[in-house]
Chain A
Amino acid sequence: QKEVEQNSGPLSVPEGAIASLNCTYSDRVSQSFFWYRQYSGKSPELIMSIYSNGDKEDGRFTAQLNKASQYVSLLIRDSQPSDSATYLCAFLGSSASKIIFGSGTRLSIRP
């Protein structure tokens, strides 16, 4: 079983709608989770981090963490064309130093 799994997409969402991205992980010891955004040809950049069960909101972005079910999700409200990118989930591994990434979900916002 892979340590972290994401749907590769592409996920196509109309402008103004809610985009929902999901990620499951296998390491029950993991405590910290991250969502990174990567534009084509660029380096990843952090959108949000979350380490407590529940929701965490930052502007149009909401991260959700459910440790019992071992999944973390990212909701993007009022999707904009500029949100078109690959979204990578990541977690801090059981070694407490390794940061492991998923395979990424490609999101396309159609006008």
Chain B
Amino acid sequence: NAGVTQTPKFRILKIGQSMTLQCTQDMNHNYMYWYRQDPGMGLKLIYYSVGAGITDKGEVPNGYNVSRSTTEDFPLRLELAAPSQTSVYFCASTPIISGANVLTFGAGSRLTVL
């Protein structure tokens, strides 16, 4: 049981390049989330999904896109990378939404845009 797997762990991009951060979970969780964490700050919600085929914007969606074609995968696409997107990106999932829900986080993907 691998939990939530994120790839790559580290990546350096040049301004204007595009890339996809991969997130896969093997727990059959319906809810999946992408967060970014800037140095010394909390987590900001980028996008989330409540199930395959359903996605919605979070607090900071500009410059990103997502898709959810399967329950397991929730990739995050960065188009035209900018220095402001330098951050650590966390993917998380949970089976249900309730007062007892626990988010299972991936290990994070550290992205630097130069």
Could you tell me how many residues of chain B have their Cβ less than 8 Å away from some Cβ of chain A? 26
Whose C-beta in chain B lies nearest to the C-beta of A103?
B42
Given the complex of chains A and B, what is the CA–CA distance between A97 and B102 in angstroms?
A: 13
Quick check: A104 and B59 within 8 Å, CB to CB? no
Residue of B nearest to A92 (CB): B97
Task: Determine whether the beta carbon of B42 is less than 8 Å from that of A43.
Answer: no
Is A74 part of the binding interface, using a Cβ–Cβ cutoff of 8 Å?
A: no
Indicate if the CB atoms of B59 and A100 lie closer than 8 Å: yes
Query: Within the assembled complex, what's the spacing in Å between the Cα atoms of A24 and B107?
Result: 28
Report the minimum CB–CB distance from B87 to chain A (whole Å).
14
Residues on the A chain within 8 Å of B31, using CB: 97
Q: A97–B50 contact, CB under 8 A?
A: yes
Interface centre among A95, A101, A103 (most CB of B within 10 A): A101
Q: Which residues of A contact B99 (CB under 8 A)?
A: 31-32, 49-51, 92
For the complex, give the distance between the alpha carbons of A101 and B44 in Å. 7
Residue B74 at the chain A interface, CB threshold 8 Å: no
A44 touches B97 (CB 8 A): no
Interface size class of A (residues with CB under 8 A): 20 to 34
How far is A49 from B100 in the complex, measured between Cα atoms in Å? 6
Q: In the bound complex, what is the Cα–Cα distance between A6 and B101 (angstroms)? A: 22
- CB-defined contacts of A43 to chain B, threshold 8 Å: 90, 105-108
What 0/1 readout, one digit per residue, does chain A (37-54) give for beta carbons within 8 Å of chain B?
000000111100111000
Say yes or no: is B103 at the interface (Cβ < 8 Å to chain A): yes
A111 to B75, CA, bound (A): 43
Instruction: Tell me the chain B residues, 27-80 only, with Cβ under 8 Å from chain A.
Output: 31, 33, 35, 40-45, 48, 50, 56, 58-59
Closest partner residue, chain A, to B98 (CB atom): A32
A46 and B103 in contact, given A6-B42, A99-B33, A102-B42 (Cβ under 8 angstroms): yes
Q: Which of A8, A36, A100 contacts B45 (CB 8 A)?
A: A100
